[in-house]
């Protein structure tokens, strides 16, 4: 943040976290967090997400979220990231209030569950009243570039009461347009590249997941060069 902006890189491995730090960007399960905290010095925000799919959680999933928050705090998380909605597409204020209480005193970001709300203007005011410090959004569209106009309107609505963070499909090709169009001082990206697996024996007939999942022998990791390029672009603009 010393350069007037904050770049957040989404990571899901120690290698990605280290590469994100080497590229000069702050980065966001207990084992991964423990090792990441040993390897990097930048702030680490942990996303609390008990499963894929929607953001309507059962009582048991809520217990998992609370347990994950406690573990994240125990192992040195600098902040938490979560989101929860009601069945009619509104912010689940009751659940968010309960989870925020477990998260404190750490800062909390409401993630892109925001992009699935029924009314983003009303939802933003709800997040502000609940006490979230940040909200990550693609402007309720397929990418931050597509949702740029709404992101700008949300930032104007926020008036400094909450930080609106553009995220979703941000690359070195569109970052300048997104930052200039949204007036944001923070942004979220993955900055990943594919790296071939070190496996020599490979079984091409088995996929460890959905039929449309990523190839088993290709690993996505944060790319130092991409992180540095995005960092340089933001520094030049902001």
Q: How many CB atoms lie within 10 A of CB 202?
A: 11
* 111: DSSP letter: -
Q: Indicate the domain borders of the chain.
A: 7-197+214-236
Calpha distance 121→150 (Å, rounded): 9
Confidence of residue 19 (pLDDT cuts 50, 70, 90): confident
Helix (H) / strand (E) containing 45: strand 45-47
Please check the confidence at residue 78 and state whether its pLDDT lies above 70: yes
pLDDT, greater one: 212 or 174:
174
Calpha distance 9→185 (Å, rounded): 14
Percent of the residues in the chain that have a pLDDT greater than 70, as a whole number: 91
Calpha distance 74→174 (Å, rounded): 38
Taking the mean position of all CA atoms in its chain, how far away is CA 2? 21
Q: What is the pLDDT of residue 222?
A: 87
Which CATH superfamily does the domain covering 7-197+214-236 fall into?
A: Copper homeostasis (CutC) domain (3.20.20.380)
Outline where the chain has alpha helix (H).
14-22, 30-39, 59-74, 93-103, 120-130, 148-158, 175-182, 224-237
Q: What is the pLDDT of residue 117?
A: 98
Residue 39: HSE in the Cβ half-sphere, 13 Å Cα cutoff:
17
Q: How many CB atoms lie within 10 A of CB 168?
A: 22
Please check the confidence at residue 24 and state whether its pLDDT lies above 60: no
Task: Average the pLDDT over each of 45-54, 154-163, 211-220, 222-231 and give the range with the smallest value.
Answer: 211-220
Q: What is the 3-state secondary structure (H, E, C) of 3-43?
A: CCCEEEECCCCHHHHHHHHHCCCCECCHHHHHHHHHHCCCC
Q: What is the pLDDT of residue 134?
A: 97
Q: What is the pLDDT of residue 218?
A: 83
Outline where 109-212 has alpha helix (H).
120-130, 148-158, 175-182
Per-residue pLDDT reduced to its tens digit, 141-200: 999 999 999 999 999 999 999 999 999 999 999 999 999 999 999 999 988 888 898 999
Q: Which residues contact 100 (CB under 8 A, 6 or more apart)?
A: 108, 130, 131, 132
Mean pLDDT rounded to a whole number for the chain: 90
**DSSP-derived pairing of the beta strands 192-196 and 218-222:** antiparallel
Q: What is the pLDDT of residue 212?
A: 57
Q: What is the pLDDT of residue 5?
A: 76
Percent of the residues in the chain that have a pLDDT greater than 90, as a whole number: 66
Q: Which residues contact 79 (CB under 8 A, 6 or more apart)?
A: 43, 44, 45, 46, 106, 107, 108, 109, 133
| Peptide linkage before 79 cis (omega within 30 of 0) | no
Q: What is the pLDDT of residue 214?
A: 61
Per-residue pLDDT reduced to its tens digit, 104-144: 999 999 999 999 999 999 999 999 999 999 999 999 999 99
Q: How many CB atoms lie within 10 A of CB 47?
A: 16
This prediction's pTM: 0.85
């Amino acid at each position: 943040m010393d350069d007037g902006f904050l770049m957040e890189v989404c990571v899901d491995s120690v290698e990605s976290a280290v590469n994100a730090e080497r590229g000069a960007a702050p980065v966001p399960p207990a084992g991964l967090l423990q090792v990441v905290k040993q390897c990097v010095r930048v702030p680490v925000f942990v996303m609390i997400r008990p499963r894929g799919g929607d953001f309507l959680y059962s009582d048991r999933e809520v217990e998992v979220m609370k347990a994950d928050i406690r573990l994240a705090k125990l192992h040195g998380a600098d902040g938490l990231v979560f989101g929860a909605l009601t069945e009619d597409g509104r912010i689940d204020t009751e659940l968010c209030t309960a989870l925020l209480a477990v998260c404190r005193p750490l800062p909390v970001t409401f993630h892109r569950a925001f992009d699935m709300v029924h009314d983003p203007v009303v939802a933003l005011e709800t997040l502000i009243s609940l006490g979230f410090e940040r909200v990550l959004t693609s402007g309720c569209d397929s990418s931050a570039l597509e949702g740029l106009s709404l992101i700008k309107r949300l930032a104007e609505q926020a008036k400094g009461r909450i930080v609106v963070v553009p995220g979703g499909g941000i690359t070195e090709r569109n970052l300048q347009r997104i930052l200039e169009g949204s007036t944001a001082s923070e942004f979220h990206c993955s900055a990943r590249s594919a790296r071939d697996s070190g496996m020599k024996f490979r079984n091409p007939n088995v996929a460890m997941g959905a039929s449309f999942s990523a190839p088993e022998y290709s690993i996505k990791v944060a790319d130092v060069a991409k992180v540095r390029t995005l960092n340089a672009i933001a520094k030049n603009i902001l």
